[in-house]
Each structure stands twice: as structure tokens, then as C-alpha cells.
Amino acid sequence: MKTRAILVASVVLMVALAGCLTIGDAGADDANGDESHATIDVGATASVTSPPDLALVRVAVVVTAPTADEARAGVAENVSEMRDALRAAGIDDDRVETTVYYLRAVTEYPKEGPEVVRYRAEHALEIETDVDRAGEIVDVAVTSGANRVSGVQFALTEETRREVRAEALALAMANAREDADAVAAAADLVVTDVESASTSNFGYVPFDSRFEGDGKAGGSTVIEPGPVRVSVTVAVTYRAE
């Protein structure tokens, strides 16, 4: 099982809400006829970090040519070769997605002579792969036609993200209860039950590795992954007596 580092974010009493102690006449409003009780409203945040289990490699083919058709054809040829190389490397087509495609005129202004209108086409792809293959896939893409590497992002699969979020929620709820107990003790009360709870915020921060240049430097590409952070905020109302 993956080892995850748990980061306990500072638990704060939300101004005007969190840590707020109120006494209400529950007997007048509660359909069950409960006696009057106090409520404590608490907000808490917690974060959990996890090793990534997914890498997103972002590459592109960019071609500038005298005519629009030459630019388009050049991009199409290089992307086709790159897709063939990715398939040969075991990357299925459903793990490759087009993120950008454009073809436009580009005006160049040389120091001498009239302006020149050329055409530039770009086809950018995002490739899903295993974390330990990210550098290898960069090399495959570059050697088979890609001339731009936008970066590599380390992320979590949907299943892992749900698991990590559940851990963060459990931790945030534990933090909220600890805070509520402290507020209750200060008011000479004891927390008895949860009246309501909700999540008011969910944060997901993948780890980004970025490249400069066209990625054609010699040697194999080695990329070190970093942790992915998932954070949640909860708002809980407790009953106290």
C-alpha cells in the first residue's frame, strides 16, 4: 500500500461561525420536541499528500512553412509518426488526447526586404503514462517528431484521488471535533452529537515538471516525480450540553 504523508493544516475557528456557541430553544423548533441545547459551529481544513500514480506528458509538433498546406501537411506527417512510435512503446490511442490544434498566418519582418507571410501549424498532445515511464515517453515523442515539450504533470488516477480525499475528510472531521471539544470545555459544556456537516472546499494540486527548449538535448530524459496534495475544508455543527 502506498505510503502517504498527512499534512495537518492549521485548523481555524471561522469568524462569526466556527467556534461560535449558541443556545437555542430546540423544543420550540425541533419536531422531536428535544430540550433546549447549545450548538458549536466549527470549520477545519486538512491536507493529505500522496505519491502520484499517473503522469501526463505534454508535447507538440510545430511547423512553419511558406504555405498553409505545407504547414498542415508537415504537422500531420510528424504527428502520425509520433503516434506510431507511441503505439510501439505500448501507449494505447485512448491515452493520447489532442489539446491544441491551430493553423495561422505569421508575418515576419526581415531587416532587409519586404515583409514575409508564412504559415504556422501546431498540434499538441497530452499523453497518459505510468509515473516511471514519463522520461521514456518524452524521449519517444521527441525522437519521433515532437519539437516542443510543454511539461510533465504528475497526478492521481480517479480511484486514488477518491481514496486520498476520503483520508483528508476523515482528518478534517477529527480536527473539527478536537476544536469543538476545546470550545465546549471553555464554556463548561460537553459535545454530544453532530447536528450537521458539509464540505465547503476541495483542493487538488498535482506536481508539475516543466521543460525549456525543444527537448532535443542528448541523453535520456530523467524526471523525478513529486507528491500530489489533496485538501478539504469541512463545516460542522455540534450539539453540546
Same domain for 135 and 95: yes
CA-CA distance, 127 to 222, in Å (whole number)?
17
Confidence tier at 75 by pLDDT (50, 70, 90): very high
Domain for residue 219, yes or no?
no
Same domain for 106 and 189: no
* Cα dist from 95 to 46, 112, 127, 130, 223, whole Å: 32, 47, 6, 11, 20
Domain for residue 221, yes or no?
no
Domain for residue 14, yes or no?
yes
Give residue-wise pLDDT tens across range 78-135. 999 999 999 999 999 999 999 999 999 999 888 888 888 999 999 999 999 999 999 9
- Domain tally, the chain: 2
Domain for residue 168, yes or no?
yes
Q: Which of 124, 155, 186 is the last residue of a domain?
A: 155
Of the two residues 220 and 73, the one the predictor is more confident about is: 73
pTM, rounded to two decimals: 0.77
* 152: exposed, middle or buried (Cβ count in 10 Å: 0-12, 13-18, 19+): buried
**Residue 20 CB neighbour total at 10 angstroms:** 15
Confidence tier at 34 by pLDDT (50, 70, 90): low
Same domain for 236 and 163: yes
C-alpha torsion angle, residues 178, 39, 233, 48 (rounded to 10): 20
Q: Average pLDDT, whole number, for the chain?
A: 85
Give residue-wise pLDDT tens across range 161-172. 999 999 999 999
pLDDT for res 188: 94
Same domain for 27 and 43: yes
Same domain for 196 and 182: yes
Same domain for 151 and 74: yes
pLDDT for res 210: 62
Of 176, 195, 206, give the one whose Cα is nearest residue 8: 176
Domain for residue 220, yes or no?
no
Q: Which helix (H) or strand (E) holds 55?
A: strand 54-65
* 195: exposed, middle or buried (Cβ count in 10 Å: 0-12, 13-18, 19+): middle
pLDDT beyond 70 at 31? no
- Helix axes 68-88 and 134-143, enclosed angle (nearest 10): 140
pLDDT beyond 60 at 10? no
Same domain for 124 and 89: yes
Give residue-wise pLDDT tens across range 121-160. 999 999 999 999 999 999 999 999 999 999 999 999 999 9
CATH number at residue 79: 3.30.70.2970
pLDDT beyond 80 at 199? yes
Same domain for 63 and 89: yes
C-alpha torsion angle, residues 231, 202, 234, 172 (rounded to 10): -20
Domain for residue 102, yes or no?
yes
Same domain for 46 and 70: no
The boundaries of the domain holding residue 128 are: 54-155
Domain for residue 214, yes or no?
no
Domain for residue 33, yes or no?
yes
pLDDT beyond 80 at 23? no
Q: Which of 93, 122, 155 is the last residue of a domain?
A: 155
